[in-house]
Amino acid sequence: MSAKERMSAQEPTSAQEPMSAEPPQRAAEVEAHLGDGVHVLRRPDDGSEHLVNETALALWQLCDGATTPEEMIEGVVELFGEDRERIAADVATALHQLREAGLLHVGEAAVQRRDAPDPDAQDDEVDR
């Protein structure tokens, strides 16, 4: 099965928990397939594929376990020179979506999910 979900750094999400200050870590086994403007992040463990835009891909690449969300926000603000509050919200949304998609290792729950993928959870993700 090749379930594709589209995510971007600009799309708002509901019921989003506050952003952790800890440096997020991307899941090492996830494969990035670069396109021209839209890219695919693929989880080999369940075969799911996630379409990401430039900003979401960049943020995922920055998830090296050392770079904090705050540093990501400052970097984006420096480059794009836009409203800091809006960028902070966009970064939080993108990290939340990446985490929900199982593309990041953040905390115990993420590790458990990677170790024992739940097929029902995958269905929920695709239906969203």
Partner 1 sequence: MSADPTPLRVAVLATPLARRALAAGLAEHGLDVVADGELSDPDARRRAAHADVVVLSAGDLPDPAAVPALADHVGAAALVVGDTDADQLERAMRAGAAGFVDWERPLAQIAEAARTVARGETVVPPGMLGGLLQRLIERRRSADQALARLATLTARERQVLALLCDGHDVPAIARELVITPQTARSHLSHVLSRLEVHSRLEAVALVRDHDLRASLDAMEVTA
In the region spanning residues 39 to 58, those forming contacts with partner 1, defined by CB under 8 A, are 39, 54-55, 57-58
The yes or no reply on residue 35 touching partner 1 (CB under 8 A) is yes
Is 11 near partner 1 (CB under 8 A)?
no
Rounded to an integer, what distance in angstroms lies between the CA atom of residue 50 and that of residue 85?
26
Residue 3 Cβ vs partner 1, minimum distance, rounded to whole Å: 23
Quick one: 12 or 37, whose CB is closer to partner 1? 37
Q: Is 92 in the site for partner 1 (CB under 8 A)?
A: no
Considering the rule CB under 8 A, would residue 86 count as an interface residue with partner 1?
A: no
Q: Are 7 and 94 in contact (CB under 8 A)?
A: yes
CA distance 105 to 82: 29
3-class DSSP state of 37: coil
Give the one residue of 30, 76, 88, 101 binding partner 1; rule: CB under 8 A: 76
Residues near 128 by Cβ (< 8 Å), separated by ≥ 6? 5
